[in-house]
Structure 1
Amino acid sequence: MAPIATPVAVDTPTPAPWKPAVQGLTSGQHEPVFSLLEPYENFPKKIEGPTVWTREELTENPSVWKHQWTDELITEVEDAYTAFEATGKPITAITKVHAFLREIRASLIDGRGVALLQGLPVDRWSVQKSAAIYIGIGTVFGYTLSQNGKGHVLGHVKDLGNDPTQIHKVRIYSTAARQFFHADAGDIVGLLCLHRAKEGGESDIVSAHNLWNTIQAERPDIAKVLATPNWYFDRKGEQSEGQNGWVKKAVFYYYDGHVTSHYDPYFVKSTGRYVEAGLIPALSEVQKEAIQVLEDTAQRLALHMILQVGDIQLLADTHVFHARTAFVDYAPPAPRRHLLRLWLSTPVAEGGWKRPFPDSDYIKRGGIQVNSQVETYPLDGE
């Protein structure tokens, strides 16, 4: 896996046009290779296997997805951080922790795609220490990705006072508003809870494969709409020079034996300025219905959870959707709700799923990359 805070070298003598100008940077947002897309008729009518789970299965079997940090593991993590401070030695050089996390990684990629790691003592650590240890943990699972146009590899899910109604330019994670069911632009998303809200900010997760099976069984007409690549996703101003302000994609894909999805309703509902300019078509009525059916079905199937301080939630963006309730923070001087976020790439060369996108084989595939913006590691939201 990649060392902490170190760009990944990629041995590619002649980068394809979609690769960033500087090797080791995040690949960014791309349209699929349309010639590789399977039509809806070729999608499985019912997905089977460990990626298909129900709320009841996880509730009744917490040991298969909830994992507790032991005192021994925490001591090893803290010792690794001390060594990192003194010598710059990667935090990933921690043997017992590495073995503990590698088993979880396998379940994330090819299994349920859900893990909750409980009990990191972040309440006694500085933000800097928590962030460094968290990034070190994350690099066992994959390669860190830029999450916005500023190159933030360490994201901060926190209310920064932004207006959630300005969805054409505001990312909802920087507000206290509700987040509808979505999957982020990586292979794995991680959230480490530093501070909880006074009210709300609770998490909902659903197997995207169980969601697909349910929609396919109940509304095959909607499943077909979701599998049709005529959806326009807003880049929200986070695009490189020469790129359109949007990408045209599907919601669900079937490729190389896997159904995958990267989707966020805020990104398909915020394209009005391009519609008004005559650059792209507006959402059709059936697409609007599909958005509602997907959200309602996900809510019906979802597992609800509350992240405690020190919890790390890890989800496979390939086959799990997640959502968040709106929240209210404590009044100052109490700290605001604050989660540290990682987007991680799991390359095909290291067991990740192939995708019908031009960066499928790239090490740091996905994420958001604007021009040659270098990666940054801010210790607070900005």
Structure 2
Amino acid sequence: MNAVLQSPSETAPPTHIDGPAAWIGPQLQQRSDWIERLDARELEEIDTAVHRLQASGLGLGAISPASFELPTLGPRLKRILGELLHGRGFVLLRGLDLSRYSVEQAAIAYLGVGSWLGSFRSQNARGHLLGHVRDTGADIRQPTTRYYQTNRELEFHTDSCDIVGLLCLKASKSGGESRIVSSVTLYNEMMRRRPDLAAQLFHAFPTDRRGEVPVGADPWFDVPVFNWLDGQLTTIYVGQYIRSAQENFPAARRLTPLEIEALDFLDTLANDPALCLKMEFRPGDMQFLHNHQILHARTDFEDWPEPERRRHLFRLWLAPREGRSLPASFAARYGSLTPGERGGIIVQGTELTFAVNPD
């Protein structure tokens, strides 16, 4: 393959990347192998582990593969982790029966499953290791509001961790559809159509921290969208926060017209129905995504008027010990670059906690 686009690593990326990570949405839409269905034995293992943990008196912080034993499902989850890190990059785990559990028991079940995939990372300045995705009525115009706290569309983006997981507790009245796209496929398409714009995405882009600023850091961080290291393309991207950094921080580097065009083209490709994959969330569905090779989005949604019926998802940010090497530029956002110990949001005063019930 011809090498182009000189990057900070010892070699330049290829003009085209092959492999299972370079998937096309409509092709996968015709298949179901990305949906992993829990069987009766595995569900019983989860049930037993939930009740054993509750009976032990251990807190949620003690949840790990050792305390949440899954003799059959555990090895399957390790295989799924391999698919996340080295294959397609995503999975939908279906079949958890939430009618059997209280909210706390559902949290234990989800944390138990997630612990087999990686360590828990803080998802906000308050140190939430178990996050809640729901409409809180927050005003997105406020500089500290993040889009997952609203019913607004989430544009295609990555989260600040290796793996992000969602458990659907309650679905919306309408909308809120999950969409994902392969960032490897986006790179391939940009290289095929506009390699000059693909080259721009190897530049470092100022990205708004949304008020969650570590001690001594700027209110934004600088990182390239596309990164090539150890023969792998790693992507980190939140277009909405790149734009807000331009609006809110005059000291942040100003983007060039060509860089802005590159970001717009990336968004256009990500939203192309010929490339992205749509999936419906049912209560009990667990979605896990590898952020370094998957961008995810959500459509606007209309919620139920009754508070007890409103859309609600648990979220996990996970760091597997088996994670890939990351470029040095990720340290501005991820802190440590050590697999299993990186990612998440820590600021002065952050106290790690498991918030079972949303504020």
On whether the aligned pair clears a TM of 0.5, the verdict is yes
Secondary structure of residue in 1 paired with 2:249: helix
Shift of the alpha carbon at 1:92?
2.8
The counterpart of 1:176, out of the listed 151, 159, 170, is 151
* 1:331-346 alignment runs, 5 A limit: 331-346=305-320
Supply the AA of the counterpart residue of 2:160: A
* Counterpart residue type for residue 209 of structure 1: V
SS in structure 2 of the partner of residue 98 of structure 1: helix
**Structure 2 residue aligned with 1:99:** 75
Post-superposition offset of 1:111: 0.3
CA distance in 2, matches of 1:381, 1:226: 37
Report the counterpart of residue 177 of structure 2 in structure 1: 202
Match of 1:243 among 171, 196, 217: 217
Deviation for aligned residue 1:332 = 1.6
Q: Tell me if structure 2 keeps the 8 A contact 1:179–1:324.
A: yes
2:338 to 339, 361, 366: 361
Match of 1:74 in 2: 43
Question: Which aligned pairs between 1:277-356 and structure 2 lie closer than 5 A?
Answer: 279-300=251-272, 301-347=275-321, 351-356=322-327
C-alpha distance in structure 1 between counterparts of 2:26 and 2:263, whole Å: 25
Residue 347 (structure 2) aligned to one of 370, 374, 381: 370
Q: Over aligned residues, Cα RMSD in angstroms?
A: 1.9
Matched residues, percent identical?
Answer: 35
Aligned residue for 2:72, secondary structure, equals helix
Shift of 1:241: 2.1
Superimposed CA distance per residue, residues 158-177 of structure 1 (whole angstroms, 9 cap, x where no aligned partner):
000011233x3210000000
Does 2:14 correspond to 1:38? Answer: no
Q: Report the secondary structure of 1:242's partner residue.
A: coil
Q: Provide the C-alpha distance between the structure 1 equivalents of 2:221 and 2:277, rounded to a whole number of angstroms.
A: 31
**Partner Cα distance (2:263, 2:357) in 1:** 33
Q: Given the superposition, is the C-alpha separation of residues 370 and 292 from structure 1 closer, same or farther in structure 2, using an over 3 Å criterion?
A: same
In the other structure, the counterpart of 2:3 is none
Once the two structures are TM-superposed, the CA of residue 380 in structure 1 deviates from its matched residue by: 2.9
For structure 1, the residue ranges without an aligned partner over 5 or more in a row are 1-35
Equivalent pair of 1:160/1:381 in contact (CA under 8 Å):
no
| SS at structure 1 position matched to 2:352 | coil
Worse-superposed segment, 207-216 or 327-336: 327-336
Residue 95 of structure 1 aligns to a residue whose secondary structure is coil
Distance between the aligned counterparts of 1:141 and 1:326, measured in 2? Answer: 29
User: Given that residues 92 and 98 in structure 1 are in contact (C-alpha distance below 8 angstroms), is that contact kept between their aligned partners in structure 2?
Assistant: no
Question: 1:274 deviation in Å?
Answer: 4.8
1:54 is aligned to 2:30: no
- Equivalent position to 1:126, from 102, 127, 134: 102
Task: Flag the 1:247–1:333 CA change in 2: closer, same or farther, 3 A.
Answer: closer
CA shift at 1:275, angstroms?
3.3
Match of 2:241 in 1: 267
What do residues 301-347 of structure 1 show as CA deviations (whole Å, max 9, x unaligned)? 10111111110011110101110001110112442101110011123
Say if 1:256 and 1:355, in contact at 8 Å, map to a contact too.
Answer: no
Is the Cα contact below 8 Å between 1:67 and 1:115 reproduced in 2? Answer: yes
Moved more, 121-130 or 109-118: 121-130
User: For structure 1, which segment, 316-325 or 331-340, has the greater mean C-alpha deviation from structure 2 after superposition?
Assistant: 331-340
Does the aligned pair in 1 maintain the 2:50–2:68 contact within 8 Å?
no
| Aligned-partner residue type, residue 190 of structure 1 | G
